[in-house]
C-alpha cells in the first residue's frame, strides 16, 4: 500500500466524528495509559506478596464479583441519572479504591479493596458505551467504536511495558499512578463532556417506545444468548490477566518479561485494528464471530507448549487476532439489539458477562493450575473456544440490520435510527469496544477501564 493510500485510509477513519467523541476518546486513552491493577494484580499477589495462585485467583474473582454487582446498577444509573454523572462517580471512586489497594497489607483487606476496585471500575463501562452510541451517528459508529478500542490498546501497549518496569521498582507506585490517571479522566469528563442521554419524546399510541426495565432485558432471549456466548469468550480472554502471568511466574519469568509479552497484544491491536475492521465490517457476522472464537480458544491453547518469551509472544499474537475480530463485531451486535432508551441497561447486562467471567476465570484458573497444572487449563480454553464457535453458528443464522428503536439523541452527532431490528441478514456491523472494556478491554486486559 502506498503512502498516499495509507494517508487516505487514516483520514477516512478519523474524519467527520463529533468533538464530544474525541474528548471521550481522550479520556479512554488516559485511562488505559494508567492501567496497572488489572494487568499486574496476580503478579503482585504471587511474586511480591508470596501468596498462592489459588489466593490470587480468589482476589481476582472478588474483583470480578464487584463488577458483576455494579454492571447492572450502573446500566440503570446511566439511563436514569445520566451518562456523565455515572462516569464521574465511577472514576472518582475507582481512583480512591486503587490508591488504597497500594497500602493495605492484611490478606482480608486486600481482598476487600480489590472487590471495591472491581465494583467502581466496571461501573463506567455501560456509561461509556451508551454515551458513544448517543453522540455518534449510526453510520459512523463502526469507526467510532474501533477508534475507541484502538485508544484502549494504544494506552495498554505503552502502559503494560512501562508498568512492568515500574513493578520491579515499586508496585505501590503503579497503584498510585493508576489512581492519578483515573482521577484525570474524571476531571476531563467534568470539564469537557456534556450529558448525552437521549430525551424520550412524548409520543403516544402504538408508535411510542415501550418502557424497558432490567426484566425486559433479561427476558430478551436472543440478546441473552449473545450475552452467554460473550461470557464464554470473556472466560478465555480473562486468562491473559490471571493464568498467563501466574504461569509465567511459576516458570521463572519476571514481571517485566510478562509486561513485554502482553504488550504484543496492545501493539498488534494498535497496528491492525483499523485496517482489519475495514475488512470485516461488511462480512458475515456469524463467520467472523466463529473465526474469532476458534482463534481465541486455540491461541490460548497453544500456551501449553510455550517455554520461551518468543513462543509466549506468538500465542499472544494468535489470540490477539481473535480479539481484533471479535470486539467490533460483538459490540456492533449489542448496539443493534439495544432499544435507544435502554442502551444503558442493555450495555450493563452485556458488561455483566465480562464481569461474571472476571469472577469465574480466576477461580477456575487458580484451582486448575494448583491441582492439575497449567496445561489442563490451556486445553480447557481450546474446548471453550470450540463450544463458543458452535454457539455462534447456531444462534446467528439471521441478524437485524439496524439498531432497535428510534433515536432521540441530544448529544452531538446523535443521528436518527430507522427500523426496529426486525430485518434479517448479516448487514453492516457497528463495531465497538468492551473498557475493559475494558475490557475488554476485552477486556482481556481492561478490567479497570
Share of the chain above pLDDT 90, in %: 22
Identify whether the C-beta of residue 372 lies closer than 8 Å to the C-beta of residue 155.
Answer: no
- Residue 165 burial by CB count (10 A; 0-12/13-18/19+): exposed, middle or buried? middle
With bands split at pLDDT 50, 70 and 90, how would you rate the model's confidence at 13? low
Does 422 or 85 have the greater pLDDT score?
85
Superfamily for the 18-197+214-395 domain? MFS general substrate transporter like domains (1.20.1250.20)
Average pLDDT over residues 132-145: 79
Average pLDDT over residues 136-156: 78
Sketch the domain layout of the chain as residue ranges: 18-197+214-395
Q: Write the pLDDT tens digit of every residue in 419-439.
A: 333 332 322 333 333 333 343
Q: Write the pLDDT tens digit of every residue in 207-253.
A: 555 566 777 788 888 889 889 999 999 999 989 887 898 888 888 88
With bands split at pLDDT 50, 70 and 90, how would you rate the model's confidence at 96? very high
Q: Write the pLDDT tens digit of every residue in 368-424.
A: 888 888 889 999 999 999 999 999 888 776 655 444 444 334 443 333 343 333 332
Give, in degrees to the nearest 5, the angle at Cα 120 between 114 and 124: 140
The three-state (H, E, C) secondary structure of the chain, written as one string:
CCHHHHHHHHHHHHCCCCHHHHHHHHHHHHHHHCCCHHHHHHHHHHHHCCCCHHHHHHHHHHHHHHHHHHHHHHHHHHHHCCHHHHHHHHHHHHHHHHHHHCCCCCHHHHHHHHHHHHHHHHCHHHHHHHHHHHHCCHHHHHHHHHHHHHHHHHHHHHHHHHHHHHHHHCHHHHHHHHHHHHHHHHHHHHHHCCCCCCCCCCCCHHHCCCCCCHHHHHCCHHHHHHHHHHHHHHHHHHHHCCHHHHHHHHCCCCHHHHHHHHHHHHHHHHHHHHHHHHHHCCCCHHHHHHHHHHHHHHHHHHHHHCCCHHHHHHHHHHHHHHHHHHHHHHHHHHHHCCCHHHHHHHHHHHHHHHHHHHHHHHHHHHHHHHHCCHHHHHHHHHHHHHHHHHHHHHHCCCCCCCCCCCCCCCCCCCCCCCCCCCCCCCCCCCCCCCECECCEEECECCCCC
Task: State the pTM of this model.
Answer: 0.68
Residues 6+ apart with CB under 8 A from 179: 34, 94, 95, 96, 98, 99, 102
Amino acid at each position: 500500500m502506498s503512502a498516499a493510500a495509507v494517508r487516505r485510509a487514516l483520514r477516512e477513519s478519523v474524519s467527520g466524528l463529533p468533538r464530544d467523541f474525541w474528548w471521550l476518546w481522550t479520556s479512554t486513552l488516559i485511562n488505559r495509559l494508567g492501567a496497572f491493577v488489572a494487568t499486574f494484580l496476580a503478579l503482585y499477589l504471587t511474586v511480591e506478596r508470596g501468596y498462592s495462585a489459588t489466593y490470587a485467583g480468589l482476589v481476582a474473582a472478588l474483583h470480578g464479583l464487584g463488577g458483576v454487582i455494579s454492571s447492572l446498577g450502573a446500566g440503570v444509573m446511566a439511563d436514569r441519572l445520566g451518562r456523565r454523572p455515572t462516569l464521574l462517580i465511577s472514576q472518582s471512586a475507582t481512583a480512591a479504591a486503587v490508591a488504597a489497594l497500594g497500602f493495605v497489607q492484611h490478606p482480608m483487606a486486600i481482598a476487600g479493596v480489590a472487590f471495591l476496585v472491581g465494583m467502581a471500575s466496571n461501573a463506567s463501562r455501560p456509561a461509556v458505551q451508551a454515551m458513544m452510541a448517543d453522540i455518534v451517528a449510526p453510520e459512523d459508529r463502526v469507526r467510532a467504536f474501533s477508534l475507541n478500542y484502538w485508544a484502549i490498546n494504544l494506552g495498554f501497549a505503552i502502559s503494560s511495558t512501562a508498568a512492568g518496569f515500574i513493578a520491579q521498582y515499586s508496585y505501590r507506585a503503579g497503584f498510585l499512578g493508576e489512581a492519578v490517571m483515573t482521577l484525570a479522566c474524571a476531571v476531563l469528563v467534568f470539564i469537557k463532556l456534556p450529558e448525552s442521554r437521549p430525551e424520550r419524546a412524548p409520543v403516544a399510541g402504538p408508535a411510542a417506545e415501550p418502557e424497558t426495565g432490567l426484566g425486559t432485558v433479561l427476558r430478551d432471549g436472543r440478546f441473552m444468548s449473545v450475552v452467554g456466548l460473550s461470557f464464554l469468550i470473556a472466560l478465555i480472554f480473562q486468562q491473559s490477566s490471571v493464568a498467563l502471568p501466574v504461569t509465567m511466574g511459576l516458570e521463572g519469568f519476571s514481571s517485566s518479561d510478562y509486561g513485554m509479552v502482553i504488550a504484543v497484544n496492545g501493539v498488534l491491536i494498535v497496528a491492525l485494528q483499523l485496517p482489519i475492521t475495514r475488512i470485516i465490517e461488511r462480512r458475515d457476522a456469524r463467520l467472523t464471530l466463529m473465526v474469532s472464537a476458534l482463534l481465541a480458544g486455540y491461541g490460548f491453547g497453544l500456551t501449553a507448549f510455550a517455554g520461551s518469551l518468543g513462543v509466549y509472544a506468538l500465542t499472544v499474537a494468535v489470540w490477539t487476532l481473535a480479539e481484533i475480530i471479535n470486539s467490533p463485531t460483538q459490540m456492533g451486535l449489542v448496539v443493534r439489539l439495544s432499544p435507544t432508551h435502554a442502551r444503558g441497561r442493555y450495555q450493563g447486562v452485556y458488561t455483566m458477562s465480562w464481569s461474571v467471567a472476571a469472577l469465574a476465570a480466576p477461580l477456575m484458573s487458580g484451582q486448575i493450575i494448583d491441582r492439575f497444572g497449567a496445561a489442563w487449563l490451556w486445553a480447557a480454553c481450546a474446548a471453550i473456544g470450540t463450544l463458543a464457535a458452535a454457539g455462534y453458528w447456531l444462534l446467528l443464522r439471521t441478524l437485524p440490520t439496524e439498531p432497535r428503536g428510534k433515536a432521540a439523541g441530544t448529544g452531538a452527532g446523535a443521528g436518527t435510527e430507522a427500523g426496529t431490528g426486525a430485518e434479517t441478514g448479516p448487514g453492516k456491523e457497528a463495531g465497538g469496544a468492551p473498557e475493559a472494556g475494558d475490557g475488554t478491554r476485552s477486556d482481556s486486559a481492561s478490567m479497570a477501564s
